[in-house]
A = this chain, B = another copy of it.
């Protein structure tokens, strides 16, 4: 209809500046008239690029990942890259499978949560030259490109604050640590802090449980049955803390007077609770944006991999107070 070759159409779509204004407008008119869209497969085949990156997260049902993911997606979209999200339900095997699915879909980059996974998987990604970025996790000498924060140090800081307020009988509700370095690092951080005062975390005051409200409530019930009762419960994330707070109330106790509760992540929920939740603020949005930036750079082969670490901040609200107060 525009009276030009397909090559010219291709140029109008991809490098409009290389086409004369007159020809261009003719082609553009035809495109508009037929509501033409380039065929994705043809494009991917010829250019060997899909402008798609994949992310595998544990679950969408949890606000923890939503904010960061939204930011990641927006930042990628600004560069014309589409994000495909798959979920693993915190299962390492399922994660590996989803990574394969995404590779099979021709993603040209990958965003993965945390660092703990089979070395063979990393080897495979490198063999294929597949760019990837690890998020939510960071430690001093992580060998892979990563954008995250120091879960261990943050958890330690929180636990130290609890200790500083005078708590000595401290329990923890952690996420399941198998295949989850963030959950494991948070436990270690609390251990670090306790060890500094000659205290320990053992089976009687540490429960690992899935990240659900109900699981948090159950864990709190078990911990609070101990006698003497712990005066503070440090939780591996805000969802567990919310569950714990609900249970504290259900048992007829008051937080923080009878027992303090702390969270981790600072999701919206944290300040809708009563008492509002003292927690660790994580800059999810900035993390998502930074991950996008790094991945786009890796994809463009712009050389060296700079890891990015974010600071977390302790947010004091109402759920933590000195013991017996």
Q: Are B40 and A272 in contact (CB under 8 A)?
A: no
Q: Are A272 and B38 in contact (CB under 8 A)?
A: no
Stretch at the interface among A64-72, A161-169, A229-237: A64-72
Q: How far is the CA of A52 from the CA of B40 in the complex (A)?
A: 12
Q: Are B82 and A84 in contact (CB under 8 A)?
A: yes
Q: Are A73 and B87 in contact (CB under 8 A)?
A: yes
Residues 54-67 of A, flagged 1 when their CB comes within 8 A of B and 0 if not, give: 00000111110011
Instruction: Write out the residue numbers on chain B whose beta carbons fall within 8 Å of the beta carbon of A69.
Output: 60
Q: Are A35 and B124 in contact (CB under 8 A)?
A: yes
A17 to chain B, nearest CB (A): 21
Residues 73-114 of A, flagged 1 when their CB comes within 8 A of B and 0 if not, give: 110010000111111000000000000110111100000000
Instruction: Write out the residue numbers on chain B whose beta carbons fall within 8 Å of the beta carbon of A239.
Output: 268
Q: Are A246 and B271 in contact (CB under 8 A)?
A: yes
Q: Are B70 and A59 in contact (CB under 8 A)?
A: yes
Stretch at the interface among A43-51, A193-201, A300-308: A43-51
Q: Are B66 and A82 in contact (CB under 8 A)?
A: no
- Cβ-based interface call for A245 (8 A): yes
Instruction: Write out the residue numbers on chain B whose beta carbons fall within 8 Å of the beta carbon of A273.
Output: 272-274
Please, which residue of chain B has its CB at the minimum distance from the CB of A216? B272
- Cβ-based interface call for A119 (8 A): no
Q: Are B35 and A127 in contact (CB under 8 A)?
A: yes
Can you list 24 pairs linking A and B with CB atoms under 8 Å apart?
Answer: A35-B127, A35-B128, A37-B100, A38-B104, A40-B41, A40-B50, A40-B104, A41-B41, A41-B43, A41-B44, A41-B45, A42-B45, A44-B45, A45-B45, A60-B60, A61-B66, A61-B70, A62-B66, A63-B63, A70-B87, A82-B101, A269-B269, A273-B273, A274-B274
Chain A residues engaging chain B, CB cutoff 8 angstroms: 35, 37-46, 48, 50, 52, 59-63, 66-67, 69-70, 73-74, 77, 82-87, 100-101, 103-106, 124, 127-128, 212-213, 239, 242-243, 245-246, 249, 268-269, 271-274
